[in-house]
Structure 1
Amino acid sequence: MAKGEQARGKRVTLKMAKRAVRLMPDGRRRLNLSNMGITAFPRCVLKLPDVVELDLSRNAIRELPDDVGAFASLVWLDLHSNKLEAVPESIGRLEGLTHLNLSNNRLTSSGLPPTLGSLTHLRSLNLGMNRLDTLPPTMVALTGLQELGLFDNLFAALPEFVRVLTCLTKLNTERNPLSYSQQDASGEPHEKLGFEENFYFCKESRLCKTCLERCREDSERQKRAMRGEGERGGRVLEEKRKRMYSGLSTPNSVAKANQDVWRRVEERH
């Protein structure tokens, strides 16, 4: 590759994109352009309306085109590990999206448009490894969301609306400067303490007796670990948490764990 071409990044042509389309077992068409040194969103893919899954992860894309919303057929979009600083408002037109991965980019809260709240079919949203400290309040409309990744960001507090997303069963908030207030007997708050915290929301009515008892035991172990009561207890809790919550327990933007892992987990269910 010539030096100038390398600096511009790899250019994807419509012919290349068509050759990269693969037919999935369920009949859907998937376009995988991951890890190809792409620096600009390949607009040619907008001419492939039969593609429903698009993987552009592990590239160096800095921005999405304003007309990305024209790709109305998409249900799965993976953009993790790029250089995105913002998402255009037109993403809200991708109303059929069920899975969106924007982890490991350079997104700030001002770069997230309120139109994210229009993606009401979303089941999985990964925003981990960015520079976020708030989320658009319009996301309260994502009532079908089941998995939300917020790990490795700048959240000092969990957005209140997250707590009313009734379908949410997996929420990863690891490695955020989250804080909480304790109150003494007089009701006066103690000084806020910073710690790493994980939330896993699930209605108790959806759990069997064994699973409910297990979750309560894990909660007690986590409380003891935060108080420093036993190093071994902390290790056991961590191992059990990894087994129970494999979907979001680790960032899926690292080399071997990407959206394909999520897909396999979902198919098993």
Structure 2
Amino acid sequence: MGYTGIMPKGKKGKKGKGGKGAKGTKVTLKMAKKAIRKTPDGCHRLTLSNMGITIFPKCLLKMTNVDELDLNRNLIKILPDNIGDLESLRWLDLHSNKLESVPESLGNLVSLTHLNLSNNCLTSAGLPSALSSLSNLKSLNLGMNQLDTLPPSWAALDSLQELGLFDNLFITLPEFVSAYPNLTKLNVKRNPCSQGDGGVGQKEKKEAAKEAYLVHDSSLCRTCLKRCQREQSEEENGKCKDETCVEENGSDMSDKKKQKTISGLRTPNSVAIVSQDVWRMKQNVK
């Protein structure tokens, strides 16, 4: 992103103002204000990542002019109940902390468009129904937690375009996920629902794994989209034209069309997935 967080003052292991002690790094209001940077699109971004912070700095609640807050890769276990006071936030990154739950007041951040809570210790009981109020939320990352379901009220998050649920405990996905009208990316890799059980054959397991990552055509660059369309065309019109294939399996390619669990999304091939990171980097530079 091109933005760097502030470094803690004082020597390692020394307690005191701004240093690392039993309570971790102490962030003061003055330090935080100095760390604010302006993004290319004019937002005020505060980056405090990878600083050994164990307690959410209360001074941040006074910074109502911050649009983007990055606290990733710290040791925060609890968010303050009044975090909802930061109503100007549009982007919040808390990935790789120690969170077991998030407060109801997070639902007050109605301007939020991006929320990253991946790689924490969240359980389904720690997800508040109030997050259904985030009507502008476009990207939600809950990967690498301990979730097995989502609050039913979250069906109201119909602005969601990207949803990450990878590396969790989902046996089945909530039905409302397939009804999100604007969803373009869904990642449920490495969940029980994407791996099959012991009684499932290798072919079925492979198909389940393919469905674990789905994207909309508009999210692929032109080259990758053509690769995916070519691969799909080969599967539908080439490989299973053999009559013996139809006879042995007792079905035709109409069964394969049932692979897509969410209308409008497709499974990109491996080459396409790898190429997307490079493409997105070029798009962000423009």
What TM bracket, shorter-length normalisation?
0.7 to 0.9
Q: 1:265 to 1:142 in 2, by over 3 A?
A: farther
Deviation of residue 217 (structure 1)?
A: 4.9
1:123-162 equivalences in 2 (<5 Å): 123-162=138-177
Q: Tell me the amino acid that sits aligned with residue 238 of structure 1.
A: S
Q: Which residue of the partner structure matches residue 212 of structure 2?
A: 198
Count of aligned residue pairs for this structure pair: 233
Q: Separation in 2 of the partners of 1:37 and 1:265? A: 32
1:188-267 equivalences under 5 Å are 196=209, 197-202=211-216, 210=226, 213-214=229-230, 216-217=232-233, 237-244=269-276, 246=277, 267=284
Deviates more, 1:24-33 or 1:172-181: 172-181
In terms of mean alpha carbon deviation, does 154-163 or 172-181 score higher? 172-181
Q: What is the match of residue 71 of structure 1?
A: 86
Q: CA deviation at 1:268?
A: 6.2
Residue in 1 that maps onto 2:48: 33
Amino acid at match of 1:216: Q
Confirm or deny that 1:120 pairs with 2:129: no
The runs of 5 or more residues in structure 2 that have no matched partner are 1-11, 240-254, 257-267
Q: 1:17 to 1:179 in 2, by over 3 A?
A: closer
Cα distance, 1:266 vs structure 2: 6.9
Q: What displacement does 1:47 show?
A: 0.8
Contact persistence 1:67–1:90 (CA under 8 A): yes
**1:116/1:191 CA distance change after superposition, 3 Å:** same
Structure 1 distance, partners of 2:235, 2:123, is 32
Question: Which residue is 2:38 aligned to?
Answer: 23
CA distance in 1, matches of 2:171, 2:34: 45
Provide structure 1 residue ranges, at least 5 long, that are not aligned to the other structure.
182-189, 225-235, 248-260
CA RMSD of aligned residues (A): 3.4
Instruction: Give the counterpart letter for 2:63 in structure 1.
Output: L
Residues 45-103 of structure 1, C-alpha deviations (whole Å, 9 max, x = no match): 11111110000000000010000000000000000000000000000000000000000
Q: Conserved in 2, the CA contact under 8 Å of 1:218 and 1:237? A: no
- What is the TM-score when the length of structure 2 is the normalising length? 0.71
* TM-score, scaled to structure 1: 0.75
Deviation of 1:180 (Å): 9.0
Q: Post-superposition shift, 1:237?
A: 3.6
| Larger CA Rg, structure 1 vs 2 | 2
Distance 2:116 2:104 in 1: 16
Displacement after TM superposition at 1:6 (Å)? 2.6
**TM superposition shift of 1:30:** 0.4
CA distance in 2, matches of 1:22, 1:218: 49
How far apart are the structure 2 equivalents of 1:215 and 1:96? Answer: 40
| Equivalence map 1:81-96=2 (5 Å) | 81-96=96-111
Does the 8 A contact of 1:32 with 1:56 survive in 2?
yes
**Structure 1 residue 191: deviation in Å?**
6.5
1:50 aligns with 2:65: yes
Select the residue among 163, 168, 187 that pairs with 2:178: 163
> 1 CA distance for matches of 2:99 and 2:269?
35
Superposed displacement of residue 26, structure 1: 2.0
2:232 alignment partner AA: R
Residue 202 of structure 1: CA displacement?
3.3
Moved more, 60-69 or 132-141: 132-141
Report which stretch shifted further, 133-142 or 69-78: 133-142
Equivalents in 2 of 1:219, 1:268: separation in Å? 36
Q: SS in structure 1 opposite 2:67?
A: strand
Code of the aligned partner of 1:125: L
1:201: Cα distance to partner? 4.9
What is the deviation of 1:144? 1.0
